[in-house]
Structures are given as C-alpha cells and as structure tokens.
Structure 1
Amino acid sequence: MRSPTDEELMERFLDGAQDAFEDLFARHAGRVQGFLARMVRDGALAEDLLQATFLSVIRSRGRYEPGTRFTSWLMTIAANAARDALRHQRHVDAYSASEAPSPAEAAGPDASDPSLRRHLLDALQQLHPDHREAVVLSKVEGWSFEEIGALRGISAGAARLRAHRGYEKLRELLGELEVAR
C-alpha cells in the first residue's frame, strides 16, 4: 500500500484528522529545522522557529488551498518565520550596539577557528536574507530556481538572480574560493 502524499495528508488534516498532521510533522520536521538552522544560524532559535512554523500550519490551515504543493506552502511559512526572527534580531543588535560592549564582546569573534565551514556560515549570515535564502535553498536543499520562485512568488529568473548575487557576495567575502560551483 502506498503512503499518502503530503497533499492528501493535509486534506485529511483539514477534515480534522490529527494523525495526518502528526505524519506531516514527522515527515518534514528535520528538513524544516535544518533549513531554519542554516537561515538563522542558531540551533535553539531554529528549534523555536520549527515549533512556530508548525503552529502556524495549524492556525493557517484554513488558508491552505487543496491542490497546492504542501512543501512549498510549509517552506514559505518557515522562511517567513526565519525572516521575522532575523529582522527582530537586527533590531536587538542595533539596540545593543548603542550600548558599551562587554569585555567579552570587545574581544571579537574567536579567530582560532580557521575551518572553512565556520567562515562559510559567517559569510552566509552577512548576505541579504533574500540572497541567503536563495543560496541555501538552491545549493544546500537542492531546490530548482522554479521551486524557489514559486516559494517566494517571483520568477525563476529572479530567483536565479538572487542566488547569483548571493554567490558573488560570498566570493567577495571568502576571497577567491569557488563557492558557487
């Protein structure tokens, strides 16, 4: 017997089947949390955002249109949660920057960690959120530009341009390393 599709599970959930929601959570929680962790680069915050994302699925289920690809709808909710958290963090950081830094903060980031992964993650955080999202979805999640465009409500070309701008900025931030190939 075949497993129900995500869309079939969502329709069952819309009809009140709680187990269908649990199945959707089990199927997608790991992927969504990985995406969120790469977007916000904070494991605890990603866990909170994962919970907020699926809580939004419950609250917004009436806005789900049957026939819509569930994963696109879910990732849109997750991306919006990440963007909101990053926007909030920028406000907190701006407020904190206006105060005198503590001695630990004044010492700066730990320069003893030379790993490429650390540098790449730091560089990703410096990208515009739209560019970072396109880079992460295309290179890490393996999404096509058509899928990214559908997620964001833009053309595939616009998604490709966002990713390209992200790659260019990463090259600039990381020096001569080839990150887009």
Structure 2
Amino acid sequence: MGSPTDEALMEGFRAGQLDAFEVLFARHSRRVHGFLARMVRDGPLAEDLLQTTFLSVIRARGRFEPGTRFAPWLLTIAANAARDALKHQRHIHAYVQERPRGKGEPADGSDAWEVRHQLEDALQQLPPEQREAVVLSKVEGWSFEEIAELRGISAGAARLRAHRGYERLRSLLGELETV
C-alpha cells in the first residue's frame, strides 16, 4: 500500500491525528518556503511566513472540505500570507524600492549573481497577482489550470496575468540593459 494522500492526512489531522500534520509539514514545508522566498525575496520573512502558513493550516483545519486538493489549498494560504506581508512592507518601507543604483557596483555583467539579482528586483516590481502567476508557472512549473484553481479564476485569466507579468519583466529588464 503506499503513503496516504495529502487529503487523507488532512482528514486525519481534522480528526485529531497530530502526526498527520507532521507528515504534511515534512512533505510541503520546503516547497512552500521556496515559493514564499521567491514571492517576498527575504529569507527571514519567508521563514516567518512559512510558520504563519502552517499555523493558519492548524487554525483553518475545520474549514478544509473533503474533496478539496490539499496542495492548492495550502499554497493559497501561503500566497495570501505573502501578499499581506508585501502590502505591509510597502507601507512601511516604500523608500527602499526607490533607492538609487550604486554607481560603485561592478557593471561587467559577467556575474550570474548580478543577473539573478536584477531578475529578482524586476519580479518585485510586478503587481502581486502577476508575480504570483509568473513564479508559479515558470519557477514552480504549475499549469495555468492549476493557478486558476488556486486563485479561483479562469485559466485564461491566469494565463493573462502571467503574460502581463512576462511583458512587464521584459520591459523592466530591457530598461536595465540601457542604464
């Protein structure tokens, strides 16, 4: 017989089996942390949001409905936590995104880290819905149908969010090349 499904584990957790929650955490914590880290681009904040996400799972376990797929439900909770944290950060640290580029930074472009840093900066400039669609589709490998289910929108709307995100990224990254 194989391992129990996530959904069966969640049903067990709802029924009071604490070890079922531990298995779910072990199965999903790395993936959720990676998703959160890409969404907020702040390691300690992603770690806090991981804890917040799983605490929310504990609190919301009674609202988990049989027949619901666990992974999209979990990532919805994580995405909402990330979105809330980003809104909070924007209100408190709006000046951070306006910081001037350092003139003393190396401009040789040979460093892969620099390219990654520029991409991450550009991702942070996308609206949260577009960033989420881009990260889920390109980084996590989700289909537009899965993204649509996660967000409660049509697959076409998910595709449009991602497309607009890709276009905005091209524009932002193109601007960097001309600086």
The equivalent residue for 2:45 is: 45
Structure 1 ranges of 4+ moved more than 4 A: 105-110
Amino acid at match of 2:92: V
The equivalent residue for 1:140 is: 139
List gaps (5 residues or longer) in structure 1. Answer: none
CA-CA distance at 1:127 after TM superposition: 0.5
Distance 1:106 1:165 in 2: 25
The equivalent residue for 1:116 is: 115
The equivalent residue for 1:56 is: 56
The equivalent residue for 1:153 is: 152
Secondary structure, aligned partner of 1:3: coil
The equivalent residue for 2:31 is: 31
TM-score between both structures, scaled by the size of structure 1: 0.88
CA-CA distance at 1:71 after TM superposition: 0.2
Amino acid at match of 1:11: E
Query: Over residues 92-125 of structure 1, what are the superposed CA-to-partner deviations in whole Å (9 max), with x where a residue is unaligned?
Result: 023xx4xxx9xxx977557337421111111100
Distance 1:24 1:71 in 2: 10
Distance 1:78 1:57 in 2: 10
Distance 1:76 1:22 in 2: 19
The equivalent residue for 1:164 is: 163
Count of residues in Structure 1 that have an aligned counterpart in Structure 2: 169
Change (3 A) 1:175 1:57: same
Query: Over residues 136-175 of structure 1, what are the superposed CA-to-partner deviations in whole Å (9 max), with x where a residue is unaligned?
Result: 0000000000000010010000000000000000000111
Amino acid at match of 1:57: V
CA-CA distance at 1:176 after TM superposition: 8.8
Identical-pair percentage: 74
Query: Over residues 48-75 of structure 1, what are the superposed CA-to-partner deviations in whole Å (9 max), with x where a residue is unaligned?
Result: 0000000000001111001100001000
TM-score between both structures, scaled by the size of structure 2: 0.89
Distance 2:153 2:93 in 1: 30
List gaps (5 residues or longer) in structure 2. Answer: none
Root-mean-square deviation (CA, aligned residues, Å) is 2.0
